[in-house]
A and B are shown apart, each in its own frame.
Chain A
């Protein structure tokens, strides 16, 4: 059972109050993008064995979308943060690097 904290309303609750929304920080493709870019955006996923950045929605609470950083292997939640960003905050990345020495964040470009 995951325990998440909504960064908007501040409520800390079990996962049944939230709904997972899949991988975060995908680069959205639009008109002018080629088939390969669209394929990557629509289907390819990091699916990492370890640190994962993902989207969640506080469905049975304030209803807001937010981001979370979590380990898919141990289910440890490193932290949650605003949905209004395109990269994880530096302080959270520092926490993860501290707990997972040698971990590197993928190139999001």
Chain B
């Protein structure tokens, strides 16, 4: 891999930019790998990257049905925060957030991490109490958050309307070190770094079956032929249930469509991320000037990457009452992604009933922020065959044992 640097730009400028290479090599599958990861989204690529970086395992293939980062990694609203209530959640999301801070340097790829700050608005007395509690919990967890007054909210977000028609702003949970990053670049950066370590990233390679012998995984059947492996990681988000079915076990997961949309670009008007969970919408401004908007998930099982139209209306209505100045904005694009919801709204990073097969799923509506931490924990689990401290509480067995990591109240509404 040729390193990207100011010197490289100068060198290429001298020769008409003829020396840039592909960011990652186009690969054809070999007969066998030590580890196969299904799913070349952020979480799958991060898993592969930390397998190589932290454990020296580089005989790895990452298989992708579509194109790299074309699922939820390229469809989210790029929010990064770690202000969760429960200790295990705070630990893994804060690990991810701290890795994001230096990820551009680590990967030698600009992921445009922008720690601009995230405000979650408190618009009911219940929310005020809830977020004050979260701020206290975060203090104990070593995550810097603060409960701020409405006046301070207005100072940070001048375009906000504090006395909305339905719910006044009573305060906010402020995480100054949260923010956004370029979602595609996260996938591309990890892919480039994996490729540089000699891993094969194989796109348009659909896994059609999972092969096992005596209860142990031995390989996968794909649209590009059979591939053998010693260990298999399933990191496919919304389609986790489909893969689990092929591997012969069931998951506590339901898949639904979650939508996002962006407006036409306007001049800079808001330099933080604002989440309004009671009226249900969240918004930030991209570097291009588009307002990036997310809202509600569909209320029924769904694999169509579209989402129901009435959710757009609900989301936009919520945001217009919170930010009246956006009422004349035109919306440019809308899309949906399939999110994998667990009952306690916490992820699953776990061994499975099939020996040698591991699964990382259940990130639901908020996986992007967790990508580096999720990959870190999954790589540790796959390399050692047992949980590390980050993933210990996120095993599949927690459902049978009643050990939920309940984030459904604190974070289930919006991510």
Contacts and interface: CB of A to CB of B under 8 A. Distances in A.
Interface stretch (A25-33, A42-50, A85-93, A95-103): A42-50
Interface residues of B, number: 21
A74 B304 CA distance: 7
Nearest to A75: B304
B399 interface: yes
B301 interface: yes
A54 B300 contact: yes
Interface string A43-77: 11111110010100000000000000010111100
Nearest to B343: A43
Contacts of A45: 241, 250-254
Interface string B299-314: 1111110001110000
Nearest to A50: B303
A39 to B, nearest CB: 4
Interface string B240-271: 01100000001111110000000000000000
Interface in B287-305: 299-304
A73 B304 contact: yes
A54 B255 CA distance: 13
Interface string A7-21: 000000011100110
Contacts of A75: 302, 304
Nearest to A35: B400
Given A20-B299, A54-B300, A47 B399 contact: no
A94 interface: no
A15 B400 contact: no
A43 B304 contact: no
A98 to B, nearest CB: 22
B65 interface: no
Contact of A43 (B239, B299, B301, B399): B399
Given A39-B400, A42-B399, A72 B302 contact: yes
A15 B299 CA distance: 9
B34 to A, nearest CB: 30
B280 to A, nearest CB: 15
Given A35-B400, A45-B252, A47-B253, A72 B310 contact: no
A72 B301 contact: yes
Nearest to A36: B400
Contacts of B303: 49, 72-73
Contacts of B251: 44-45, 47
Given A36-B400, A43-B399, A49 B310 contact: no
A15 B308 contact: yes
Nearest to A14: B310
B250 A40 contact: yes
Contacts of B254: 22-23, 45, 47
A107 B203 CA distance: 35
A14 B399 CA distance: 35
Given A43-B343, A48-B241, A54 B301 contact: yes
B241 A49 contact: yes
B83 to A, nearest CB: 27
A38 B402 CA distance: 11
A49 B308 contact: no
B142 to A, nearest CB: 31
A39 B398 CA distance: 10
Given A47-B301, A72-B303, A39 B399 contact: yes
A49 B246 CA distance: 12
Interface in B326-353: 343
A108 interface: no
A44 B299 contact: no
A36 to B, nearest CB: 7
Nearest to A74: B304
Contacts of B241: 45-49
A63 B394 CA distance: 38
A70 B399 CA distance: 28
A1 B399 contact: no
A54 to B, nearest CB: 7
Contacts of B255: 47, 72
Interface hub of A35, A38, A40, A47 (most chain B Cβ within 10 A): A47
Nearest to B239: A49
A89 to B, nearest CB: 21
Contacts of A47: 241, 251, 253-255, 301
10 contacts: A1-B310, A16-B310, A38-B400, A43-B252, A43-B399, A45-B254, A54-B300, A72-B301, A74-B304, A75-B304
Interface of B: 239, 241-242, 250-255, 299-304, 308-310, 343, 399-400
Given A1-B308, A23-B254, 8 more contacts: A1-B309, A2-B308, A20-B299, A22-B254, A38-B400, A46-B241, A47-B253, A73-B304
